[in-house]
Amino acid sequence: MKPINVGLLGIGTVGGGVFAVLERNADEIARRAGREIRITAVADKDIERARSLVGGAVKVTDDALSVTRDPEIDIVVELIGGYTVAKDLALSAIESGKHFVTANKALLAVHGNEIFAAAHRRDVMVAFEAAVAGGIPIIKALREGLSANRIEWVAGIINGTTNFILSEMRDKGLSFDVVLKEAQRLGYAEADPTFDIEGVDAAHKATIMSAIAFGIPMQFDKAHIEGISQLESIDITYAGQLGYRIKLLGIARKRPEGIELRVHPALVHGSRLLASVEGAMNAVLVQADAVGATLYYGKGAGAEPTASAVIADLVDITRLHTADPEHRVPHLAFQPDQVLDVPVLPIEEAVTSYYLRMRVLDKPGVLADITRILADSNISIDAMIQREAGEGESQTDIIMLTHQTVEKNAVAAIARIEALDSVQGKVTRLRLETL
């Protein structure tokens, strides 16, 4: 049977991993796919480096559009990254009738609706397993493995850089800035780590998972995004004393009123599965009505883990290459005419519990004033630490965990607490997820 010819756009860390794994496991992959899958063209700015990696049998060029338009290419794999050039290349490949594989979460979160619509018109497939959680097959699980279920929520540790930083801050008691520098030295964090530490990367991935889980369009612009750069080590310590660990979570939750789509640091109880995910590892927890909770855990980045997901997409497309387009798995799990425009709720409407840390004057009546304000907002207290003031100190910390409430109620109550003369400065607030 005629081999499937692949054009590879970008042969950096992940692209090099794809080429290496595809060569090393060629026979095993062909046995699964039913025919040989081979990279016949590579586009990269560094032509000499690309040639040194792929040898003389593969066409190498610095003109990516020549690959997307090459009539001999069946599938185009985009591993360049970014929003702009990658989008043009995706649409060019699709318009040329090529199937398209990408690991580019930013591209799909921002331009996915346009790309999927173009692919539907041209009867070609877009596959993107590697765009979320590296080598973990979470896209396939949401799109196919759980298709009998009504998915209730998805929560994940989907950025290895921030998870490494939080693990180090807790284990070593170091500040965020110190651990970030160490993460950069070890190669876990980029020279410009903004997308990771401010939650943007996780929000791209959460947007993709929400669309597949609930059959809605990509709505990255509606996601609520908070990172970890303002997190203080004292809150990690207090959370530990209460039995919790702090993780940066991407959360998509379906409620009758709409979808919660949010990324932020959150307390997770130490007994929960996600709390034990350490270092640069990723994990996604899915709650569904029929199967209950399922956990997907593994390496969320790296050359070969990501290559594993890219090649799995190549195998899937090869198997379905000649199939009737109507019988292929839909891009967003649901049939295109069944994708619903369900609203993404503003963060003020989110329902969750809270960790509150207050610096207060050490005098009678302070705690009573605070609990009265919370009660007025129908917010009940689940646990509390009241630290003893040291000798000669006039101030101390009160730490509270609340039961679930609507975010706007918590915000209003915190504003009233901060207005008390006995409360010094701002109240530190973190969300708490029961999962």
pLDDT tens series, the chain, 435 aa:
899 999 999 999 999 999 999 999 999 999 999 999 999 999 999 999 999 999 889 999 999 999 999 999 999 999 999 989 999 999 999 999 999 999 999 999 999 999 999 999 999 999 999 999 999 999 999 999 999 999 999 999 999 999 999 999 999 999 999 999 999 998 888 999 999 999 999 999 999 999 999 999 999 999 999 999 999 999 999 999 999 999 999 999 999 999 999 999 999 999 999 999 999 999 999 999 999 999 999 998 889 999 999 999 999 999 988 778 788 889 999 999 899 999 999 999 999 999 999 999 999 999 999 999 999 999 999 999 988 877 778 899 999 999 999 999 999 999 999 999 999 999 999 999 999
Cα–Cα dist 152/133, whole Å: 20
Instruction: State how far the Cα of 311 lies from the Cα of 303, in Å rounded to an integer.
Output: 12
* Gap between the Cα atoms of 358 and 425, Å rounded: 8
Distance set, CA 206 to CA 244, 263, 289 (Å): 23, 8, 20
For residues 12 and 273, what is the distance between their CA atoms, to the nearest angstrom?
34
Return the CA Rg of the chain: 24
User: Which CATH entry fits the domain spanning 349-433: 1.10.3720.10, 3.30.70.360, 3.30.70.260, 3.40.630.30?
Assistant: 3.30.70.260
DSSP 341-373: -PPBPPGGG-EEEEEEEEEEESSTTHHHHHHHH
Q: What is the pTM of this model?
A: 0.95
The ranges assigned to domains in the chain are: 4-135+303-338, 138-299, 349-433
Please name every residue paired with 281 in a beta bridge, in sequence order, or none if there are none. 299
Which residues form the catalytic set?
205
In whole angstroms, give the CA distance from residue 353 to residue 434.
8
Determine the Cα–Cα distance for residues 282 and 17; give it in Å rounded to an integer: 19
Q: Would you identify the CATH topology of the domain 138-299?
A: Dihydrodipicolinate Reductase; domain 2 (3.30.360)
The CATH number corresponding to 4-135+303-338 among 1.20.120.80, 3.40.50.720, 3.20.20.70, 1.10.645.10 equals: 3.40.50.720
Give the span between the Cα atoms of 261 and 268, in whole angstroms. 18
